[in-house]
Structure 1
Amino acid sequence: MLMAGIFAAMLLMICINIPIAVALAMCGVLGLLFTEGTDSLVTIALDMYDGSTKFSLIAIPMFVLAGAIMNAGGITDRLINFVSAIIGFIRGGLAMVNIGVSLFFAEISGSAVADVAAMGSILIPQMKKRGYSKEFSAAVTSSSASLAIIIPPSIPMILYAASANTSVEQLFVAGVVPGLLGAGGLMTVAYFFAKRYNFPTEAAFNLGRLRETFMDALPAFTLPVIILGGIFGGYVTATEAAGLAVIASLVVSAWYGNLDISHLRRAMLDGGIQTAVVMLLVAASVLMGGFLTRAQIPQQLAEGILSITTQQWAILLILNFFFLIIGFFLHSAAAIILVIPIVIPLITAAGIDPVHFGLVVTLNLAIGQQTPPVASVLITACSVARANIWEVSKVNIWFVGVLLAVLMLCTYVPSVPMFLVEYFYR
């Protein structure tokens, strides 16, 4: 009864536009107060501080900052030119370029919102000039940006690893194959749209232009080598790789000699705000987690579902539906922080690999970024394109279908995402 009252109070606060972190913290305090009295509140400030200063979480602001430097230093423009030289000659080539550059940018920023803000401001106006509809331009930019939370480094994966006490490096490795499959599927859908609506091709393939753009973008290619090579090779942790990404982005931007300081300052402020929001959620989740643990809610949930079925495929199906639904209403960070501590005991009891489950959760939340009413990434893309969100959603549903297909494949054929983890770590 108390649990139902606490969650009802939190839902009410969210509905009246109280920030989720504040609602989460208030409900956690109320739960502790009712179950253990005022003595349990003495250390809440220290608990919140300890929970939000885990070493792995330092990677979040570092990857956000690296993405800001990359965009302000002219690296993004060179990547666009290079990818355009490779695949721009295909029908609908600029849409392919959009997806290809998002795939690369995802390896630096780890943030889908940062990706769509950076890529969309450059590519959406160009697509509209070339005859693409604003709805299609927004849809392809939005859906490809969600690759940023599948391809490593991924901020939601970092949060999941911290919440589930599992390896963030193994999660990063597990995300590589699904990210590539997602990019390939999105390009296939974009090509069918291009054929149907006769979207233009870019310049014909030219080996000389490809060589020129490759040499121009060559310093930028060191960034994923440093980040992913360091992590996969076991030389650095994810947090150390984030620090290296910042340094490498600064060095490459200085090499190009066109770092826009005013743009960088704005991007750093936006990144600081985004990081502060996530950290406040993490700190607030400590209080709710303490209450849930003492009330044994996660254990009761695990026992309830396991009394219905012990089949892994059925449990994963239930949790997939659950995460798809909450993705409609919660930001990915809030969903992970609020729900993962509750379901981890169920995952452990069912014998499901926590790394595999982390990838399933991440894919679900990538889809949630594309589904209104919250749809933070879709809303950002619509804002840049000045398009109606519901009209964009009619186009975007085909791209969301690709993400759903990848989700089902990774859920029920775990060898697809996990074989690299087995190769590198087990």
Structure 2
Amino acid sequence: FPVEERFQLSNVWLRFKEAGWALLLPVIILGGIFGGIVTATEGAALAVVAALFISGVIYREFDVRALYKSLVDSGVQTAVVMLLVASSYLIGGFLTEAQLPQQLARAIGGVTENKYLILMMLNVAFLILGMFLHSAAAIILVVPIVMPMVLAAGIDPVHFGLVVTLNLAIGQQTPPVASVLIAACSIAKSDIWETTKVNLPFIGALLALLLISTYLPAISLLPVRLIYGG
């Protein structure tokens, strides 16, 4: 790789001081969220206000034209995401009217009471749902319906929550809909199918992690038990 500048330890401190104010942004976002002060959305808005203040008052590099371009770009990217969210809620409405989640729960409960087989079938169901629905819609639509069956099978609700989250995370970056993948490609201005080809090994790794988390609950629940006990 070409060497643009020789590494010097003194430069590390110099660059850190220059970037110090900008590095406060993740502290503001994560500190506000984990501190219970703001929600994730409010944290993002707070970070924007902080960024405007830092660039305009502290660094004095505020550029109105750059701000206008950022607003246009963020508007386009938000429109892409909101179209996906709207379409997923329409699909969710259809599934609710057709009572497909209830039929799914009855079908799984009628086939087996073995918790590992139930988890296997729920894995498949949530992976497919994640490909077509936004995660919030899938959770609201299906989780309350299958939760009694999950508890009756003796599945830890925290373990089930981790499994659902992983399933939806994988589904949302797997076409045809892949809401997270489309949002990321919109921001990066990259082709969806080319990105998917590169993403396949990562999806494979996530699937392996999903299997480990599903069928070795002691591993996935270890951090929870270490922190909260039990």
TM range (shorter): 0.5 to 0.7
Give the alignment of 1:294-333 within 5 angstroms: 298=102, 301-333=104-136
The 1-side partners of 2:117 and 2:27 are apart by 39
Partner of 2:166: 363
What residue identity is the alignment partner of 2:46?
Answer: I
* 8 Å contact from structure 1 (residues 282, 337) kept in 2: no
Change (3 A) 1:279 1:380: closer
Q: Does 2:141 match 1:342? A: no
Contact 1:301 1:346 in 2 (8 A): no
1:246 aligns with 2:45: yes
Residues 6-85 of structure 1 mapped to structure 2, 5 A cutoff: none
Q: Normalising by structure 2, what TM-score?
A: 0.68
Q: Give the total of aligned pairs.
A: 219
CA contact (8 A) 2:88 2:132 kept: no
Structure 2's unaligned 5+ residue stretches are 57-61
Q: Which residue of 1 aligns with 2:156?
A: 353
8 Å contact from structure 1 (residues 302, 349) kept in 2 = no
Evaluate the alpha carbon distance shift between residue 334 and residue 236 of structure 1 in structure 2; reply closer, same or farther with a 3 A threshold: closer
Listed one character per residue, the Cα deviations across residues 156-194 of structure 1 (whole Å, up to 9, x for unaligned) are: xxxxxxxxxxxxxxxxxxxxxxxxxxxxxxxxxxxxxxx
Instruction: Measure, in 1, the Cα distance between the counterparts of 2:206 and 2:75.
Output: 31
Looking at structure 2, the residues matched to 414 and 340 of structure 1 have their Cα atoms a distance apart, in angstroms, of 19
Q: In structure 1, what is the equivalent of residue 36 of structure 2?
A: 236
The one-letter code sitting in structure 2 at the alignment partner of 1:236 is G
* Alignment partner of 1:404 is 2:210: no
Residues 88 and 134 of structure 2 are in contact (CA less than 8 Å); yes or no, is this contact kept in structure 1? no
- Does the residue aligned with 1:219 lie in a helix, a strand or coil? coil
Distance 2:158 2:165 in 1: 11
- List per-residue Cα deviations over 1:292-323 (Å, max 9, x = no partner): 5xx9x63x654542343333222212111222
Give the 3 Å change call, closer, same or farther, for CA 276–344 of structure 1 in structure 2.
farther
For residues 160 and 202 of structure 2, the distance between their equivalents in structure 1, rounded to whole angstroms, comes to 23
Quote the offset at 1:262 in angstroms: 0.9
In structure 2, how many angstroms separate the alpha carbons of the residues matched to 1:327 and 1:310?
24
Identical amino acids, percent of aligned pairs: 45
Report which stretch shifted further, 221-230 or 281-290.
Answer: 281-290
State the distance in 1 between where 2:228 and 2:37 align. Answer: 14
* Partners of 2:107 and 2:91 in 1: CA distance: 27
Deviations 1:261-295 (A, max 9, x none): 31343255347644586478669968975985xx9
Q: Is the Cα–Cα contact under 8 Å of residues 327 and 364 in structure 1 kept in the other structure?
A: yes
| 8 Å contact from structure 2 (residues 85, 134) kept in 1 | no
Unaligned 5+ segments in structure 1 are 1-199
Q: Distance in 1 between matches of 2:29 and 2:218?
A: 24
Root mean square deviation of aligned Cα = 4.0
Compare 216-225 and 283-292 and name the one that shifted more: 283-292
Cross-structure match for 1:8: none
Task: Tell me the amino acid that sits aligned with residue 216 of structure 1.
Answer: E
* Structure possessing the higher relative contact order (Cα contacts under 8 Å, 6 or more residues apart): 1
TM-score (norm 1): 0.41
Judge conservation of contact 1:285–1:337 (CA < 8 Å) in 2.
Answer: no
> Counterparts of 1:29-178 in structure 2 under 5 Å?
none
How far off its partner does 1:364 sit?
1.7
Cα distance in 2 for partners of 1:369, 1:263 equals 28
* Alignment equivalent of 2:75, drawn from 253, 256, 269: 269
- 1:205, distance to aligned residue in structure 2 (A): 5.3
* SS of residue paired to 2:13: helix
